[in-house]
Amino acid sequence: MVESTPDEPAQILRDKKGDMSKAIPIEWMKNARGRAMKLPERDADGDVVWENPDAKPEQRIPKLIDADTKLALYTFVYARPNSIEAKNDSLRDTQLFNALERATNGQIELKDKVYDWIHRALGREVPVTPQAKEMDIKPRLYSYGLFGRDEFVALLQLKDLDERPADILVAADDADPED
């Protein structure tokens, strides 16, 4: 994966055809309490890096690292279950992956269609198994599967700066010290 620094602000850009595009800043992601959000580390092929690679598959523990928006979008591409696939997903996956590889100047430049698709796909429900239905377990959104209870804050951080509310995060200094 291409190295980048999560520092520079995003801006709305125009491509050669005059189509609008959005830019997601590459920045460190924070959870709802203002602390670093953790996601599984991925190698150059997109595979999860394990803390104990020699263990049986069901006993492996992923190596968690501080996540930035770029890692979150790579995880979105690699970890999406087949059960929520839609018609143009492979095309949009390719466009997003190429945008992630080209990301420079602290931002990921995306065409509006890809940007909108990301947020629609994160809002899809992941179907539950028949056994789970029998136990009255409801389907959850894909974004919940990726980010857990911090999904709302994570979704806001994957937006263009112009679309974000100003006060989405609690400063780490103001966070509850017992959590």
pLDDT tens track for 19-46? 568 999 999 999 988 899 999 999 988 8
DSSP secondary-structure letter at 57? Answer: G
More confident residue, 4 or 168: 168
CB atoms within 10 A of CB 133: 12
Handedness of CA 112, 113, 114, 118 (dihedral sign): positive
Angle of helix 89-102 relative to helix 112-122, nearest 10 degrees, comes to 110
CA neighbor of 168 nearest in space, from 158, 178, 176, 179? 158
pLDDT above 50 (res 83): yes
Average pLDDT over residues 103-130: 94
CA distances from 124 to 86, 103, 119, 130 (A): 10, 26, 9, 19
Model pLDDT, residue 21: 86
Dist. CA 31–CA 98, nearest whole Å: 27
Average pLDDT over residues 121-126: 95
The fraction of the chain above a pLDDT of 70, given in percent, is 82
Average pLDDT in the 140-147 region? Answer: 94
What integer pLDDT is reported at residue 165 of this predicted model? 80
Confidence of residue 15 (pLDDT cuts 50, 70, 90): very low
**pLDDT at residue number 144:** 94
Q: What is the pLDDT of residue 168?
A: 59
